[in-house]
Amino acid sequence: MNVRMNASNSSGAQAVQAHRFGLYRSMLLIRRVEEALSRLFADSEVPGFIHLSVGQEAVAAGVASALDAQDTLATTHRGHGHVLARGVDVTGFFKEIMGRAHGVCQGRGGSMHVADLSLGVLGANGIVGAGIPIALGSAMAHAIRKTHGVAVSFFGDGAMAEGVLHETLNMAALWRVPLLLVCENNGWSEFSPTSRQFTAKLEALAGAFGIDYAQVDGNDVCAVADAAHTAVAGLREGRGPFVLECITHRVRGHFEGDAQKYRSADELSALQAHDPVARGRAALLESGASDERVESVEHEIASLVEAAIAAARADDLPTFESALADVYTKREHA
């Protein structure tokens, strides 16, 4: 009996550590991809603007860990981490951001419009709050089709003043749809503190519609994952929508190249102490993971990112003619 109990305990410990490694790998992939994108953007290899989520990786990794294959998500202009955590192909992702013909959206969407319906990624969106009603519609579809799936909408605290959020909360509560609303509260609405944009509290807003709410340390990936799993379990049981607020930190500017003159030097210098990737690594080592295994994951991610960038650079640019593809449908004349 003791042997069985010890074996069970060992198996449980291994499962916990495997879960933590998965979370760390997901965060590290997001971090290394975005660091690479920052360099590529500075070298003019990325067209348009990019909005990086450095410092917010734990939210994406933690929430994605709670999702199943049939689930869907809608994200924001700062959505690289969400789609990577969901499993979007890294090579296809780089090709898309770099405007190549074989990107996940054939190079047409770029940074703010990455989508992959095969993974339930309904798309990023350059309009603040615009993914919220899209996720609501997907949640309604899950309920009607009885897929046992859930829909997730990521949004920033800058979207809390958007009327579409309030309308969505009302409709989701009325119809008790399986919608998880995840607020990445980094304290900033573009260039202004969120307190200057919105006076209410998200908990009170959710409460006004009778929607369950939880707040979590958005830089603790295990805490985010635990909260997301609890919320998703309730959604699958038909308990209605759920609001999860993750308190996190935006390390980079609103967009890449933003000088962040509106932030104090003290705030910027303190950001490193909240680094979710460093915290995840330290937690792994404290739980008994070996340095060699952690470093193996780090080497794997570095090689993956390097190979994806090389493949993107070697890929073709879209032709001018391809811009019309999937825009018009040919009609058959009788």
pLDDT for the residue 9: 64
pLDDT for the residue 334: 58
With respect to residue 3, please indicate whether it lies within any of the assigned structural domains.
no
Domain that holds residue 213: 17-313
pLDDT for the residue 11: 72
With respect to residue 176, please indicate whether it lies within any of the assigned structural domains.
yes
With respect to residue 332, please indicate whether it lies within any of the assigned structural domains.
no
The structural domain count of the chain equals 1
Going along 186-332, which residue ranges are E strands? Answer: 188-189, 192-193, 212-217, 242-247
pLDDT for the residue 166: 96
pLDDT for the residue 324: 78
What is the mean pLDDT, run by run of 10 residues, along the chain of 334 residues?
A: 52 81 96 96 92 93 98 95 97 96 92 94 91 97 97 92 94 98 82 72 95 97 98 97 94 68 72 87 90 95 98 94 79 72
pLDDT for the residue 332: 79
pLDDT for the residue 186: 83
With respect to residue 12, please indicate whether it lies within any of the assigned structural domains.
no
Q: What is the DSSP letter of 56?
A: -
pLDDT for the residue 5: 44
With respect to residue 5, please indicate whether it lies within any of the assigned structural domains.
no
With respect to residue 217, please indicate whether it lies within any of the assigned structural domains.
yes
Strand, helix or coil for residue 282: helix
Q: Model pTM greater than 0.85?
A: yes
Strand, helix or coil for residue 260: coil
Q: Which residues of 163-186 are buried (b: 16+ CB within 10 A; e: fewer)?
A: ebbbebbebbbeeebbbbbbbbbb
With respect to residue 9, please indicate whether it lies within any of the assigned structural domains.
no
With respect to residue 25, please indicate whether it lies within any of the assigned structural domains.
yes
CATH assignment at residue 52:
3.40.50.970
pLDDT for the residue 323: 78
pLDDT for the residue 239: 96
